[in-house]
Amino acid sequence: MDTRIGFGWDSHAFKPGVALRIGGLTLEHPEGLAGHSDGDVLLHAVTDALLGAVAAGDIGSFFPPGDARWKDADSAIFLQLALEELSHAGYRIVNVDTTLVLAAPKISPIAGEMRVRVAELLGVELEQVSIKAKTPEGLGLDHVAQCHAVALVERVRDEDDRKRMSAVIETQKQLEDVVDDLLASVHGVPKRRNEAPVYDTEDLT
Ligand SMILES: [Zn+2]
């Protein structure tokens, strides 16, 4: 089989005075999600699902907690890096499915818009992205947002497809430079890719 699957999960606590960013959108809400970056719980879960699908580590192995470069960073950068890793491994997205778990705000009114944005960030068609949301019934987690994500990927065989995938990535000009720098710093280290990555359980991204 030329398909692989990846799973990602993330959680962030709500915090007053912070903009709420979920799925690449800014949502109207009195509190946002605390994090070193913009705290976009959905993009972080999808990033980990994509990295996991090609066994490329996790978000913390690329964006170590405490690195000043990622303070308040747009999480689209993390997603972009995962897409680069996916392309590097010779795979593309078949579909991505997500479930947000949060008490408020209600996601259903903006799920459609969020789906469009996530598909755009991933460079895939709308029908390849699913966004669902539940409330954390009985968990006592009303001040936390969680997201679960799975990604199915398939090996790219056609050279034209690879070029098309690269073209999609190249349209995200504003993210390119920072990702290039990052990839150079990661891949420039000899044998780094062959070593077992040290996973940091402290997720501050
Ligand atoms: Zn996160």
Place of tokens 């879960």: 45
The neighbour count for residue 106, using CB atoms within 10 Å, is 12
Torsion angle of C-alpha atoms 170, 175, 177, 178, degrees rounded to 10: -140
pLDDT in tens, the chain (205 residues): 699 999 999 999 999 999 999 999 999 999 999 988 899 999 999 999 999 999 999 998 888 877 888 888 899 999 999 999 999 999 999 999 999 999 999 999 999 999 999 999 999 999 999 999 999 989 989 999 999 999 999 999 876 666 666 666 665 666 777 777 777 777 765 433 444 555 555 555 6
For residue 180, the CA-to-ligand 1 centroid distance in Å is 22
Nearest-CA neighbor of 8 among 107, 82, 116, 115? 82
For residue 157, the CA-to-ligand 1 centroid distance in Å is 33
For residue 171, the CA-to-ligand 1 centroid distance in Å is 25
For residue 67, the CA-to-ligand 1 centroid distance in Å is 14
